[in-house]
Structure 1
Amino acid sequence: MFHLDTGRLWVCLLLLGFIGFSLPKAEGRSRKPNVVLILTDDQDVAMGGMTPLKKTKELIADQGITFSNAYVASALCCPSRSSILTGRYPHNHHVINNTIEGNCSSKAWQKTQEPYAFPALLHSIGYQTFFAGKYLNQYGSEDSGGVDHVPPGWNYWFALEKNSKYYNYTLSENGKARNHGDNYSLDYLTDVLANVSLDFLNYKSNYQPFFMMISTPAPHSPWIAAPQYEKTFPNVTAPRGGNFNVHGKDKHWLIRQAKSPMSNSSIQFLDNAFRKRWQTLLSVDDLIEKLLKQLEAHGELDNTFIFFTSDNGYHTGQFSLPIDKRQLYEFDLKVPLLVRGPGIQHNQISKSLVANIDLGPTILDIAGYDLNKTQMDGMSFLPLMKNNSNVNWRTDILIEYQGEGLNKSDPACPAMGPGVSQCFPDCVCEDAINNTYACVRTIAAAHDLQYCEFDDLEVFVEVYNLTADPNQLTNIAKTIDKEILEKMNHRLMILQSCYGASCHTPGVFDPRYRFDPQIIFRERGEQAHLLTRKASK
């Protein structure tokens, strides 16, 4: 159990002073729904990342809807979180990696994007807003204004300085720094987030609807489990699926240069990491159970939408890549997305193609905000959750990523630049400036395809038929029908320059799609090179 220490008492008093004493729950409650967004860090869905979360499945998935085709716009923390907050693709919010230079929590981001993030818009229409946990990777750094900076629109702010940790971290409590140590009962971050969230529910105003965003460190490294969970899953290892420890022979050189088969030390390391990741998620499961019990005790549960998702996926040995994210494959791009709430039938599974850019528009739609007033690239999937049969939903999304490394020409990557993934334990360069790509992910009635272009010294193309090849073993860029290849290239160019409503135009396999033939296509060497596309910077 967590003890009400002086720090937590201070938080309670802060809530009372900042939000106001709560009045009896039976009086004056708003009819607008409340919304809770729970965001994990680096949680895959393709490799079994939801398996440890038994309570979460029972309390959210079984009581609502699971989206089986939920993707992120970029497979890295800061660009992805920026897409969640703004409802925009990276080429529109301009966060390209986890560094200040990459616009992560930079002064420019704070000026141009934060005032229009969906929590600020919720606040503008009367929602109480609460944040707890990891915000953006560079939040709190000196160059981003330190922990004094509280983004606009948040009533209560309980944000982690910089990247995920479990102990020995600093939190910004409404702009005031509070340091934490390594005492489990006082400092374990997932439990701290759980308890401060419960405090908010106890002391918030009952006259306003509320939005809560709880962003846990789990299952991000350094993978420190709570003491009671340190010995769980003793026999669990990373899944040995069809793409585990195999050479990516027809892929971009960054993938091909991985050592295959992996050494025993690499496999031992990633198995250990996989098990520890699961262990850290058990505390998230506890957090969700406590939160929903508290909502029920306050009579709020039936009027609250609860979203559960992650900022990106993760890999552990696929294509002989020990551990990381950043790549264009399903294990890094596909994330869990569960939602329960008023009007959502139980035990639903939707195969509709949704993305993290849709979270903001969906939550604003729930709150009754006029989406025509926003410039968001995403779409509200509230009609999908309400089983609206008249929904004409999209069939494709854009995925884009810009590499962080400094060395553009040497495949061996001897110069590892700032922010580039480390080596665990055999050095595999998983990122470089060359790891800059854009993809169209298409899921239509008869097509389950991914088309990607790397902006390298020469354009390199990867195409996968996920129906025939769910493990993405075979790049079919050379063999796929040339007309489809041309159309996918054309669609990529459209999406890479889209903004707001123009991102909602019909996809390649939508009957309303219109193909512009002004495109030059030619095969050069061993790969298809599409010469008219210019990568967005």
Structure 2
Amino acid sequence: MHYQTLLTLTLGASALAARPNIILIITDDQDVRTNTLSFMPKLQSLVAEQGTTFNRFHAPVSLCCPSRVSLLTGQYAHNHNVTFVSGPFGGYRTFCEKGYSGESLSDFLQDAGYATYYTGKLMNGLTFPAITACPTTGWTSSDFLIDPNVYLYYNSSFSANGEPVVNHLGEYQVDVIEQKASSFLQDAISGLNSSTPFFLGIAPTAPHLEVQFNGSFTEPLPAPGDEDLFEGIPVPENPNFNVQGGVSWVKSMPELNETVIEYFDHLYRQRLRALQSVDSLVESIVQQVEDAGIADNTYIIYVADNGYALGSHRRQPGKCLPFQEDVIVPFLVRGPGIPTNLTNDQVYSMPDLTATILDIANASASYPIDGRVIAFTESEQVCVQDSSQEIEGAPAQTIVEYWNGALEEGTYAFEGSNGVRDNTTYRSIQAIDGDEQDWVYGVWCTGERELYDLKTDPWQINNLATNTASGFDSFEFSSNTSSQVASRLDALLIVLKTCIGEVCRDPWKAIFPNQTVSSLSDALSSDFDEYFTSLPKFRYEKCQFGYFDNLESPKWNESLAFV
């Protein structure tokens, strides 16, 4: 059921004429697992308590630029192939080279009759020469953060509608973005007099670390007046904090000493302090919406591009791994038909948000969208959570992808190979099925595999895959059950790693085209043991920076399906 129909039922026939407005606030490097959301009381009272919080929303790539391009395209990274923050595999130039100029979310919304506005960070590599050579498209009005000053809190640079860059020396970046967003919102509200709905994107870089011109990462800086907040608050030492784990280079990380942990505590407080200005931005935007009398017809969405880790599995600050710290991001929404003060544990990812925004706007893309429409309204959420009803495309799994080196951040970051950890190429899948199944399975380019039962091991400490030696055939699992689960998830991973459109939304149909199997629980029947055991297992030919499908095998085809 489309949102236009749902709005008619919820708000009356007039809702169809007054199409909903959409405000998207996206932060940079904000995680869930260190409770950053708990330190944002305005976001909690004005969005969480007035709407729904989605606890299992994934970054499809645990890195900002690829994840943001998934938002702009509605595709997983293996389809848009913008996989890093800079060339030749990432950044704005690559986005243009892949043909997305004129073919992304803003263009599709404009084609559907929406006024579109955006301020803040769009993606990495947005320099003035880059947007001069390849102008941003689809925006009624824009004021983008411009490299190389994107991550500076007190010297940010902006380009309004492609005009020459203006520096804001001495002004706090989030405050500048709030002012620009407020101005855009007033323009958008004025446009409603002509029945023109609007989309407004607001993208501060908080709580991302500052990135200096020499490429070094330094602590984020708070707004004036927030410098002394949260004194004595340490980084949460969750069960996996300073605990050895993982595979590849992660498994040999040294134990964190007290000096490093004290630095993490300080860095954590700085991140919380930087988020206070974002909390105030949220309050300002919500207040304007409510004062204008359009709250009942406006979706306000809060999300982050990727998560962030501080000390979990003995790690230095960063985000490039398939652990929950890196891939689970804040996702909250309030708006018409959305139940209040509710949490949702269904699995979703960034392409699903794109599909949902397009559905709300009654817009369409010019190419297949990989995402599914998120169950926003109360009636939809009840349906999805009611296993007695057959729900088409009920969310149960999602893929996380990465093909690069992992970059550590901060004072004690890895210094070899320009700070990049090699061999950080992997595919990972999260699959749930009601209250019984909740698994993360992954394959790395080194040949190592990971399997975690999140029901019993939510902090991913106990890898149920034993990698006995290097190579893709040197592994085993801790029990018959884990081996059985891994065989199913490996097949699902092979399907999803090259999926397009409907196959991404319903991968089980590719495996069982003539059967009623549509979930992990169904597939775990012993009737299928021989079939899954016989399938070739996912492997990489070698570790390679960048995505090349010929280095990953097998590629799913009809001959591999169960018949």
CA displacement at 1:427 relative to structure 2: 2.9
- State the alpha-carbon separation in 2 of the partners of residues 273 and 453 from structure 1: 32
TM-score by length of 2: 0.80
* 8 Å contact kept, 1:366–1:382: no
- State the alpha-carbon separation in 1 of the partners of residues 538 and 51 from structure 2: 48
- State the alpha-carbon separation in 2 of the partners of residues 226 and 139 from structure 1: 25
In structure 2, what is the equivalent of residue 75 of structure 1?
Answer: 62
Question: Out of 502, 516, 519, which is 2:535 matched to?
Answer: 519
Amino acid corresponding to residue 520 of structure 2 in structure 1: F
CA displacement at 1:228 relative to structure 2: 1.1
Residues 68-467 of structure 1 correspond to what in structure 2 (within 5 A)?
Answer: 68-107=55-94, 109=96, 112-140=99-127, 142=129, 145-146=130-131, 149-162=134-147, 163-183=150-170, 187-204=171-188, 205-206=191-192, 207=194, 208-222=196-210, 223-248=220-245, 251-260=246-255, 262-370=256-364, 374-382=367-375, 386-387=379-380, 389=383, 391-392=391-392, 393-404=394-405, 420-422=407-409, 424-425=411-412, 427=414, 431-445=420-434, 446-456=436-446, 459-467=447-455
* 8 Å contact kept, 1:147–1:161: no
SS, match of residue 346 in structure 2: coil
- State the alpha-carbon separation in 2 of the partners of residues 535 and 196 from structure 1: 49
How large is the Cα RMSD of the aligned pairs?
A: 2.6
- State the alpha-carbon separation in 2 of the partners of residues 169 and 361 from structure 1: 32
- State the alpha-carbon separation in 2 of the partners of residues 115 and 157 from structure 1: 15
Amino acid corresponding to residue 519 of structure 1 in structure 2: L
Fraction of identical pairs, as percent: 29
- State the alpha-carbon separation in 1 of the partners of residues 279 and 17 from structure 2: 29
Amino acid corresponding to residue 243 of structure 2 in structure 1: V
CA displacement at 1:161 relative to structure 2: 1.1
Gaps of 5+ in 1: 1-27, 406-419, 524-531
Deviation digits for residues 350-393 of structure 1 (CA, Å, limit 9, x no counterpart): 1111111111110111112257x641111111455543526441
SS, match of residue 375 in structure 1: coil
Deviation digits for residues 204-232 of structure 1 (CA, Å, limit 9, x no counterpart): 32221000010111110121100111110
Amino acid corresponding to residue 534 of structure 1 in structure 2: S
Amino acid corresponding to residue 213 of structure 1 in structure 2: G
In structure 1, what is the equivalent of residue 478 of structure 2?
Answer: 479
In structure 1, what is the equivalent of residue 498 of structure 2?
Answer: 497
- State the alpha-carbon separation in 2 of the partners of residues 210 and 318 from structure 1: 40
In structure 1, what is the equivalent of residue 6 of structure 2?
Answer: none
- State the alpha-carbon separation in 2 of the partners of residues 119 and 202 from structure 1: 19
- State the alpha-carbon separation in 2 of the partners of residues 316 and 43 from structure 1: 11
Deviation digits for residues 161-185 of structure 1 (CA, Å, limit 9, x no counterpart): 13422121221110013332432xx
Deviation digits for residues 58-78 of structure 1 (CA, Å, limit 9, x no counterpart): 111111111111111011111
CA displacement at 1:197 relative to structure 2: 1.2
Q: For residues 138 and 386 of structure 1, do their structure 2 counterparts lie closer, same or farther at Cα, with a shift above 3 Å needed?
A: farther
- State the alpha-carbon separation in 1 of the partners of residues 310 and 290 from structure 2: 38
Question: Out of 517, 520, 540, which is 1:509 matched to?
Answer: 520
Q: For residues 535 and 316 of structure 1, do their structure 2 counterparts lie closer, same or farther at Cα, with a shift above 3 Å needed?
A: farther
- State the alpha-carbon separation in 2 of the partners of residues 469 and 375 from structure 1: 36
Deviation digits for residues 252-289 of structure 1 (CA, Å, limit 9, x no counterpart): 131123221x1222112111110000001000010011
CA displacement at 1:471 relative to structure 2: 1.0
Q: For residues 258 and 158 of structure 1, do their structure 2 counterparts lie closer, same or farther at Cα, with a shift above 3 Å needed?
A: same
Amino acid corresponding to residue 58 of structure 1 in structure 2: S
TM-score by length of 1: 0.83
- State the alpha-carbon separation in 1 of the partners of residues 60 and 378 from structure 2: 21
SS, match of residue 80 in structure 1: helix
* 8 Å contact kept, 2:66–2:83: yes
User: How many residues end up aligned between the 2 structures?
Assistant: 477
* 8 Å contact kept, 2:241–2:311: yes
CA displacement at 1:461 relative to structure 2: 0.1
Amino acid corresponding to residue 448 of structure 1 in structure 2: D
- State the alpha-carbon separation in 2 of the partners of residues 386 and 357 from structure 1: 22
